[in-house]
Amino acid sequence: MTAFKLGDGDVLLIVDVQNDFCPGGSLAVPRGDEVVAIANRLAQRFGNVVLTQDWHPRGHRSFASSHPGMKPYDLATLAYGEQILWPDHCIQGTSGAEFHEELHVPGATLVLRKGFRREIDSYSAFFENDRTTPTGLAGYLRERGLGRIFLAGLAFDFCVGFSAVDAARHGFAAVVIEDACRGIDVAGSLAATRRSLAEHGVACITEADLG
């Protein structure tokens, strides 16, 4: 039995499949490159595909290198609250910020760049980490009549998870395709993400559930 029948109101959101999040990159997600083949396959089944691209200026406040004496994965307090500090990654215009070279999604209609404000990180494709600055994605999806969002990509416990929860908060149906994601797992982030997805009614499925 097919649990999910895809239609015109569905969109596939492919999150941050970029070189810096893949093996060899500066913030490599373990086995991150394994999502490429499945993302390519999924994209062919959706009439609507949107890509996100983490896109930071040099000296971004989420980088440990911007905080003397602190190191990657430390917790810092920024103007909007707590922020995990990361290695420099996905710097605008660098090869680390490019999509994985085998990602092949010619039908994608939007590349949504996020994290471009020096002072604010953005895990979610909908709101930056201050939780109030919108990226514009909700408006795009609404105007296009897209009501159900399937998510794939990197990292499960950061950008994919936050995007899925914000989608649900916005009133979209949100579905994470878990075998099309890989996670980082810092400070219990995987378990926290699973809890948060469940609390917000986000379904977690596998590619096989799409029939």
Q: CA 61, CA 117: separation in Å to the nearest integer?
A: 9
- In angstroms, the first-to-last Cα distance of the chain is 7
Q: Least distance to ligand VGL from the beta carbon of 69, Å? A: 20
Among 49, 155, 168, 197, binds ligand VGL (CB under 6 A): 155
Q: CA 86, CA 195: separation in Å to the nearest integer?
A: 23
Mention every residue, 6+ apart, whose C-beta is less than 8 A from residue 155: 16, 21, 29, 32, 181, 182, 183, 184
Residue number, 86 or 126, with CB nearest to ligand VGL: 86
> Which position among 114, 157, 181, 204 bears the catalytic label?
114
User: What part of residues 104-133 is at the interface with Zn ion (CB under 5 A)?
Assistant: 115
Q: CA 159, CA 161: separation in Å to the nearest integer?
A: 6
Catalytic residue list contains 74 = no
Q: Is 97 helix (H, G, I), strand (E, B) or coil?
A: helix
Per rule CB under 5 A, count of chain residues that contact Zn ion: 2
Q: CA 107, CA 46: separation in Å to the nearest integer?
A: 9
> What beta strand segments (E) does 18-78 contain?
49-54, 75-78
Q: Least distance to ligand VGL from the beta carbon of 152, Å? A: 12
Q: Does 149 bind ligand VGL (CB under 6 A)?
A: no
Residue number, 54 or 128, with CB nearest to Zn ion: 54
Q: Does 158 bind ligand VGL (CB under 6 A)?
A: yes
Tokens of 178: 């878990």
User: What part of residues 24-53 is at the interface with ligand VGL (CB under 6 A)?
Assistant: none
Catalytic residue list contains 16 = yes
**Residues at the contact surface with ligand VGL, assessed by CB under 6 A:** 16, 21, 54, 86, 123, 154-155, 158-159
**Residues forming the active site:** 16, 114, 159
